[in-house]
Amino acid sequence: MPRGMAAARRAARAALVLAVMVAPSMVREHGLSHRHSSVRASAEPRLRQPPWCTRVSTHRFSGPTFMPLPALPLLHLVRALHAVGHTGSIRKGATELGVSHTVVSRHLRALEAWAGAKLLERGPRGARLTVEGQQVFAASETAFAALATAFETVAPRGAPTSLRVWAMPGLAGRWLGPRLAEIERLLPGLDVSIRATETAPDFAAHEADLFIGYGPDDELPAEAELLVTPRMFPVASPLWLARNGRPASLQALARQSLIHERDHAQWRRWLKVAGIEPTAPLSGPKLWTASLGLDAAAAHQGIALATQLSVAREIEEGQLVELFDTDISIGSYYLLTGPERKNKSPVLAFSAWLRDQLACDEAGLPAAGAA
């Protein structure tokens, strides 16, 4: 085995041992245990030896043999405490991890239950680490830094081999999908995957590199980068209009059988911004996603809400018609990026392309560099 590779493996092994041993030992120094108070303070926790520990120790490494590891909390619980200690609050810690603050709170309670000690003081002005919490946080800083160094040595992460993008179903299928070849030209040699979903990924679990979401401007995540605020307008097919007639006004539009997503909320918001208060309850089928609704509208099933980004091709080809020349927006597309990948060149290149292309397409202009 090359000398450099052997050294890298020894470094990785040492970092793993450090990561899983440092924090619990810091707590035990102060008489704390993951057992309840009925267990004597002098009693050491029962050691558990994972199967992989035995297997690794049989390899002929030139470094020291693995010692059995003590019972430890799940790593994601420690990551929650580390994020809170690093950012100074539960909400900011949740943002750093790419999860909700309720998930972080649940992880912290589980970690406190495991340790048998209070690690966080919660009050009306926020939360702060206790003395014991600060000790575990300091140990986790050392451990995670050692792990990062070891894995950078073993498998350098400077050259990612894939780009995983999660995006709202409408944008994923109707805008990103047709541009896949362009994205692959932008990122040659990388495996590009696009997942259509309304749910943000767990960046801490490395589920994805980026998430393109959509929502009302006052409800966007604090860490979100606003990409574009598209104009939204009603569309229908020429055949549907021939059969049913074109609504003469927005008030008349509200009385039509409208195509909704999972509920009436989006149409209600749009009509409210347009200054219309429906005189009767809204009606029409619910098709869960915007993309399904637009497919139904193109199939002559009714009137749906659309954006330039989602129906530019259908309007150009005459499959759909914009019913009113309005300037109404009810939300924005935004970008979330995994904190560990945000400065990697593929993520930076894709993000820059995304900003430029979305802005130009919304404005009806050719993107920079386009033929």
Does the domain spanning 3-154 belong to CATH 3.40.50.720?
no
pLDDT along the chain (371 residues), means of 10: 49 48 45 40 41 40 54 82 84 80 88 89 81 88 77 57 91 92 91 91 89 93 94 96 94 92 90 89 87 92 94 93 93 93 90 94 68 39
Q: Are 3-154 and 162-229+331-363 the same fold in CATH?
A: no
What is the per-residue pLDDT for 252? 93
Q: Which fold is adopted by the domain 162-229+331-363?
A: D-Maltodextrin-Binding Protein; domain 2 (3.40.190)
Distance of CA 224 to the CA centre of its chain: 10
- The tokens describing 48, both together, are 């558990």
Give the whole-angstrom CA distance, residue 181 versus residue 209.
19
* Of residues 276, 231, 273, 275, the one with CA closest to residue 256: 276
Token representation of residue 141: 């800083």
In angstroms, the CA 41 to CA 34 distance is 10
**How far apart are alpha carbons 136 and 22 in whole angstroms?**
8
Predicted pLDDT of residue 297: 94
Q: Please give the Cα distance from 340 to 336 (Å, whole number).
A: 12
Tell the residue number behind the tokens 């041993």, with chain if given. Answer: 21
- Do the beta carbons of residue 199 and residue 192 sit within 8 Å? no
Contacts of 245 (CB under 8 A, 6+ apart): none
| Residue 286, token pair as written in the block | 């619910």
> How would you classify the pairing of strands 210-215 and 332-337?
antiparallel
Q: What residues pair up with 334 in beta bridges, in sequence order?
A: 213, 226
Q: Angle of helix 90-97 relative to helix 101-115, nearest 10 degrees? A: 110
Structure tokens at 271: 């009509």
| End-to-end CA gap in the chain | 51
For tokens 């229908």, the residue is 236
Strands (E), the chain: 120-123, 126-129, 162-167, 191-196, 210-215, 225-228, 232-236, 304-307, 321-322, 332-337
- Residue 52 tokens read as 């992989």
User: How many contiguous H segments (helices) and E segments (strands) does the chain have?
Assistant: 14, 10
Query: Could you tell me the residue ranges of all domains in the chain?
Result: 3-154, 162-229+331-363, 232-322
Encoded tokens for 196: 């259509």
Tokens of 18: 């450090």
Q: Partners of 211 in the beta sheet?
A: 166, 336
pLDDT, residue 298, reads 94
Q: Tell me: the pLDDT tens digits for 245-292?
A: 999 999 999 999 899 988 898 999 999 999 998 878 898 899 878 889
Residue 178 has a pLDDT of: 92
pTM: 0.58
Question: What CATH superfamily classification does 232-322 receive?
Answer: Periplasmic binding protein-like II (3.40.190.10)
CB-CB contact of 224 with 332 (8 Å): no
